[in-house]
Amino acid sequence: YNFSGNDAVTLYASKQKTAIFKDIKAESGTSREINPLVLKLSVKKGDAELTTLAPLTLKRRTGHSIFAVGAGKTTKAVIVENAVSR
Whether 35 has a pLDDT exceeding 80, the answer reads yes
Contact 75, 8 (CB under 8 A): no
Whether 86 has a pLDDT exceeding 70, the answer reads no
Residues in the chain: 86
| Of residues 35 and 67, more confidently modeled | 67
pLDDT at 38: 93
Residues 6+ away with beta carbon under 8 Å from 17:
none
Contact 2, 29 (CB under 8 A): yes
Instruction: Answer whether 0.85 is exceeded by the pTM.
Output: no
Which band of pLDDT confidence, cut at 50, 70 and 90, is reported for residue 53?
A: very high
Mean pLDDT of 48-62: 91
Whether 85 has a pLDDT exceeding 80, the answer reads no
Residues 6+ away with beta carbon under 8 Å from 34:
20, 58
| Of residues 46 and 83, more confidently modeled | 46
CA distance 35 to 23: 22
